[in-house]
Amino acid sequence: MCEKSSFPKWFPRQLLWMIVCIICWVQSAMASTEVNSLVIDSAAAQIALSTATYVFDDPSGKLTIDDVLKPEYAHRFQLGSSSPGLTPSAYWVRMTVINPTDQTLVRWFDTGNRTLQEVDLYVVDAQGGTTRQSTGSTRRFGERPLATSTFVFPVTLAAGQHSEFYLRVRSTGYLGISTVLRLWHSEAYEAQDKQDKLIWSVILGVALALFVINVMLYVSLKDISYILYALSLVSIVWSASSSVGGFGPAYEYFWPNLPLLEQSMWVLAILPSSIFPILFVIHVLDFRKIYPKLRAFTLICMSLLAICVCVQITGTLLQILGSTRTLQFVYFLGTLAWTFLYSGVIWGTLKEFKRGSRATKYIIIGFSPVMLSTLVLGVQHNLGLPMSWHFSLAAGAWEWFVLALLLADRFSQEVKAKIGAQSALVQTLQRSEQALEQQVIQRTRELTHEQARTKELLHNILPDNIAKELLTTGITKPIRHESATVMFTDFAGFTRAVSTMPADQIVAELNEVFAAFDDICDAEGVEKIKTIGDAYMAAAGVSVACVNHAQRAVRAGLRMVAFVEQRNADSAFKWRVRVGIHSGPVIAGVVGKRKFAFDIWGDTVNIASRMESSGEAGKVNVSAYSYHLIRKDFACEYRGQVDAKGKGEVDMYFVAGSLV
């Protein structure tokens, strides 16, 4: 007799449950700490690090690298974007890079940012050693690890080992955090930087040429429009070179030892680029002359402009003092003032555009890309997305050329007006006549096209002979067909199936099946009549009389059953179709005076419907009359007399297949 165990009966089960829980916990912990390592290609000119960035938010901004390396913080890093947008928090970004080669590689770690106040890069090697490099917009340009426009750090990747990077970035809250992290070959980065500087040099050269030309025109013609254009040109170039980090190297060349000035200069740079173009538009459109009774409008614009200037200057001072909350409130007021000012100018410009002002066309064409780029930069700035400086530069260059064309066109128009108003009038009349002729031709084409579309639509709705009769006479007469065949199809179990399906899926399923049925009817010479829910009605021998109408309908029915069965093999939803066919006399015609619908009537239609409802899924059920018409062409199986609702006992046959 065996000795009774001293362990309770529940012990093995509970022990097994504890082991399973411990295994699941260990796997979860291992999965949570798993880090996507990026294996670099030594031959690549640049490598994007966005797929391997893990981000941790430090609202206090006081954590050090020693804190972050502790186990309790390691699990708080989440795979995500390194561009959180407008926030005063510090953000830690972790990346793991593997050098698979047997050589030590030196790369440039590029943040893709120009404005961050605090940027620290920590490199943790395979042995646990940590090195730190620091930079930011609060430091002098010469204190950067590398003399580049964006914040770049030189890093060394040990041969055959992994290197872990910890990047700490922080902004003061009025400039968004946006980074595009890459590892560059130094030669590739320098080539890219050289290309950017070449683009900037070309832009400066073009801007300088336009500036000199317009200053000379101002001296010659004494027209203030040219000096306002020159000032607008200079302000836009200055804004692009220094605002929000800018595209141009203003900080590097003009005030490399004044980081505080660099942080506040972007506000003062944006200010003139907003003022002078507005003054240019107000002067070119001559609001004071156009609206002599609306002098208050010009006064309001000037007042708002003064408010904007005060707000921008106040914002600059608050930025220097570091008052972030007050700065945001002041910028909110400034945004309202700029909004009202731009709204007033846009309102006046659009009003002149409606009056046919030639200058407004240039202004709208020239300023639209600039306004769009400003909007895009604002959204990118607040969301922390990479700034589209090339798009902004292209928009600014477009504005220069279009406004230059505006002045050239304005000058040309004035000269032409002085040479001879009569010649201009004749040319205007000729252009108007040509435009009118083109409009007449275009309207004629449109009318012809619409008539063709109407005919095509009518032929899609009605049979060809009915559509032709309706187009010719405007009316149609009902026609009695002594011998025709009517076919109905329906889906077995449709109501139960659709109760669990989304509405859009139901419509898509029916559309696909009925479209195939339409093609089958067209191929077999059968006329589709209509669909009612999941029922499909068609008839043969109603549009054009024929002796083989029953054979056509049966062939179409068999093809429909075969199509549904073939479709069920590959479709998630399995449909079972019933087909009922009956032959006899019908009346066909068009009813109504709007939304024409071709339809058929008669007891033949009712019996065909009973054939369908009394049939079975996957089979073609025909009446005795239809059977007598097709018995030489199709093998049929007699079902006997089947009770049909409202018709009593009716002889029915299943079509087994074709004999031909």
Structure tokens that stand for 58 in this block: 């430090």
Identify the pLDDT of residue 342.
60
Report d(CA 237, CA 199) in Å as an integer: 13
Task: State the pTM of this model.
Answer: 0.50
**DSSP strands (E only) in 136-290:** 152-157, 162-170, 182-184
User: What is the per-residue burial (b if ≥16 Cβ within 10 Å, else e) of 450-488?
Assistant: eeeeeeeebeeebbeebbebbeeeeebeebebebbbbbb
Q: What is the pLDDT of residue 294?
A: 47
Nearest-angstrom CA–CA distance, 381 and 306? 26
Residue where the block lists tokens 């029922």: 535
> Is the pLDDT assigned to residue 600 strictly greater than 80?
yes
Tell me the average pLDDT of the chain. 78
* pLDDT tens figures, 117-132: 899 999 987 677 789 9
Which segment of 145-149, 235-239, 502-506 scores lowest on mean pLDDT? 235-239
User: What b/e readout covers 265-294, taking b as 16+ CB neighbours within 10 angstroms?
Assistant: bbbbbbbbbbbbbbbbbbbbbebeeebeee
| Vertex 373 angle, CA 207 and 119, to 5° | 95
Phi, psi of 221, rounded to the nearest 5 degrees: -100, -15
CA distance linking residue 379 with residue 381, whole number of Å: 5
Taking a C-beta distance cutoff of 8 angstroms, is the pair 552, 526 a contact?
Answer: yes
The residue-averaged pLDDT of 35-52 equals: 82
Residue type, 551: Q
Least reliable range by pLDDT among 170-184, 220-234, 237-251, 580-594: 237-251
- Most confidently predicted of 198-207, 444-453, 601-610: 601-610
**DSSP run (H or E) holding 109:** strand 105-110
Count other Cβ atoms within 10 Å, centred on residue 541.
25
For residue 79, which of 41, 47, 42, 52 has the smallest C-alpha distance? Answer: 52
Predicted pLDDT of residue 634? 94
Q: Which token pair is 538?
A: 């068609």
Coil, helix or strand at residue 167: strand
Cα–Cα dist 321/307, whole Å: 21
Scanning 462-502, the segments in alpha helix (DSSP H) are: 464-473, 494-498
Report how far residue 517's alpha carbon sits from residue 531's, in angstroms, rounded to the nearest whole number. 11
The least confident of 363-377, 447-461, 514-528 is 447-461
Q: Is the pLDDT of residue 114 over 50?
A: yes
Helix (H) or strand (E) holding 580: strand 577-591
pLDDT in tens, 394-453: 777 787 778 788 788 777 777 777 777 767 777 888 888 888 888 888 888 877 777 667
> Which tens digit of pLDDT belongs to each residue from 343-354?
666 666 677 667
Task: Report residue 349 as tokens.
Answer: 């410009």
Helices (H), 355-388: 358-383
The lowest-confidence range among 224-228, 290-294, 485-489 is 290-294
